[in-house]
Every structure is written in structure tokens, then in C-alpha cells.
Structure 1
Amino acid sequence: MTRRSTFTDQSVTYGAIGATLAPDLLRYPPAGYRPAEDAVRLGSGAARFERAAESLMTWGIQRGSGFEVSEVSAGTGAQYPGIVYDAGGAPLAEQPEQRAEERFGADGTPYIASGMTAVLERKRRFGVAKTPVLVVYVIDEPGRIGFAYGTTADGPESGEESFILEHRDDDTVWLTIRSLLATSGVTAPRRRKRRRELTKLELRALHPAGGV
């Protein structure tokens, strides 16, 4: 698939920018891409949501699942705006406005913002695997926060992954991870297996029993 420019100073390696927002992602993924969606309950209450949100937006999932996050750059701040849908899959008549102010964690770490770039490094048996990524959108609404990034360099895996935290009406707090990835080469089956194992680690990264 040809590269498509984002609204930032870099480009990603896939065309369906923002596809992880689509309600029908699992049923109608772009050709050649495998969709996935997993969710975990993290607890309940506003305090749990706020604590998990701070960790999420300061790379807590990535660090908690074994990545070192390096070469973080603020980028331009522009993003794919996305569309918010109702429970029936129809776009809302009035789309919520995105917050634009810069935010920081308790230790001064800047919150992830649209347009940010970073390199995710993970130790392998032989060397270190590096995945450059670009944050293509950020969601920051009352009771809902998160982001998605896409790959920016050619490699064995290409696509987008999103991490959305919700404080639902029943007071429960949930993390949902969605991905849209294409895996190439003779090692594709093994890499897909590793991806499932990685997703399990990501789901546990913010859990009270193993994370925040």
C-alpha cells in the first residue's frame, strides 16, 4: 500500500489513517490488514480512571509491556481529527471538541500529543528491535482518553494501534486496545503470535494487580 501523508511532518507506512476509530473495523478491515480488539476492566471509580489516564498518556502501557520509549519528539501537534460515533454506529451530529492545551504527569512528563513521534525499543534474543511510530490522533474527553500511533518505517509489521481508556456510566473503568496490522515475510505467523502475547502484556500494564 502506498504511503499517505499525515497532517504532521512525517508519513506513515499505511493508508487507513484513523481506522482504529471505525466502529466496523473488525468486520470490514482494509485489504491485507488484520484487525483486533481486546478490552480489560481496570476497576471502578474516578480515582482509578484518573490514575490510569495519567499512566496511559505518559507511555505507561509501552513501558509496562517491556518497551523503552526513546527519541520522543513533540512534532507539529496536528492530527487526524477522527469521527465520533453513537452506539448504533452513526456519526454524532455534534462532534466533541478536542482539548488542545498541553498537559503533564505528576513527574513533569508531557502527555502524549497528536503529532508526537517516538521509537519503541524492545530487547530480542539477538539485539534490539526498534519501531518508529507517529501519534496520529489523541482523544481527550470527559470520561474518555487515549491515543493511536502508526508505523513510520518499513519493517515486518505495518499499521496502527490505539489505546482508549473509558470511565463508563456504571462507574467501571475499561481499557480497549485496537489494532490494524499487516505482517509480511516468512516469519509472519510467528510475528502474529508474538503480537498476541504483546497485547496481553499491554492489557495488564495499567491493571492494579500488575501496573498502576
Structure 2
Amino acid sequence: MSTLTYPEVGATRLGPLPDGYDHLRHRAAVGRGRTDFEAAGAAVTEWRMHRAAGARVNASAERAAAGVAVEVSAGLGRLRVEAPCEVVWTAYERDRTGFAYGTRAGHPECGEESFVVELTEDGTVWFSVVAFSRPASWYARLAGPLVPLAQRWYARRLGNVLRRTVSAA
């Protein structure tokens, strides 16, 4: 029995994104070539990208796989927000690597978010975040339009962190 808090499981992979949610699409070039692609894919699927961006990640596995429980938290002290999730799909393909997680009970939002690295024919390594979400907690509703702004900021931050991670590899 699923503990996910939304019915549109997998929509970040197959689309279209469902109505009734805020949508986020962010794409950034993070490297070039197979070596950068492999480094970026490993950083994404082994939680290192999130950790390097300042989030705490507690996962039931060291690598993303369907069904893995993940709790991501951010903030300081008592102001830390915990976000329980579950990996709903993964991609471990020749030129595409990544995963999506969906929200579980206790998450301040309701929805799904994917993190995918892709190697295109011209050799560019692209990082994409696709998400749909809506408030599920009183404090997310209270924050109103600030939540999508914070999500966009975090997606850009992840891209920047991943670019730096790849260049250091």
C-alpha cells in the first residue's frame, strides 16, 4: 500500500504535469562529455548533490531506487523543515540518469519532483528538475507564493552545485 500523498505518481517522467499544482521546470548545462555525465549522474542518484547544496538526506539506501524512503531536511535548529519522500521512479540509461521522489505524509508539500542528468548528442550534459506541488501543511499555505520562488531558487542552486561537483571530478 502506497504512503504517497498524491494520485499522479510518475507524472514527472511521463507527463503531462497535472492541473491543480504549481509546476517547476528548470534546466541547466553542467558539463560536457561522458565523464561529466557519469560524475553528475552519480552525484544525483547517490544523494551527494542534495547534501552539497546544504540539505540533510536520510535515505533507506545509498542509491536511488524505486521504493527507497528518503527524508530531506533543511534549515537550522528548531527551524528545520523535514520532508519525507519516496523514490517513485529511476532512470539508469546510457544517456539519461536520475530519479523522482514523491511526497509522503508529513511533507509540507504534496507532489513529485524529478532530478535528471542527460548527455545530448552534442556532448552537453544537462541537469533538469521537473516538479509539481501544492501546499499540504499550514505553514506551506501561509508562505503562499514564496514557496514556488524558494523551489525555483533551490533548483538553480542544485544546478550550480552539480556544475561545481562535475568540474571538481
TM-score range, shorter chain: 0.7 to 0.9
Q: Are residues 1:50 and 2:43 paired? A: no
Tell me, yes or no, if structure 1 residue 64 matches structure 2 residue 56: no
Change in CA separation of 1:135 and 1:181 when aligned onto 2, cut-off 3 Å: same
Alignment gaps of 5+ in structure 1: 75-109
CA distance in 2, matches of 1:163, 1:197: 15
Deviations 1:25-82 (A, max 9, x none): 3xxx23x211111100112111111111111111022112211112x224xxxxxxxx
Partners of 2:5 and 2:103 within 8 A in 1:
yes
Task: Kindly indicate whether the alpha-carbon contact (under 8 Å) linking 2:83 and 2:108 is maintained by their aligned counterparts in 1.
Answer: no
State the percentage of identical aligned residues. Answer: 30
Aligned AA (1:42): V
- Give the partner amino acid of 1:181: S
Distance 1:209-1:114 versus aligned 2 partners, 3 A rule: closer
Q: CA deviation at 1:154?
A: 3.7
Once the two structures are superposed, what CA deviation does each residue of 1:178-200 show, in whole Å capped at 9, x if it has no partner? 00111252322222222222122
- Tell me how far apart the structure 2 counterparts of residues 198 and 211 of structure 1 sit (CA, whole Å): 20
Tell me the TM-score normalized by structure 2: 0.87
* Separation of aligned partners in 1, 2:36 and 2:87: 25
1:18 and 2:18 aligned: no
Map 1:67-106 → 2, pairs under 5 A = 67-70=55-58, 72-74=59-61
Query: TM-score, normalising length from structure 1?
Result: 0.71
Equivalent residue pairs, number: 164
Shift of 1:124: 4.0
| Structure-2 separation of matches of 1:175 and 1:193 | 19
Give the number of the structure whose alpha-carbon radius of gyration is greater: 1
Does the Cα contact within 8 Å between 2:110 and 2:133 map onto a contact in 1?
yes
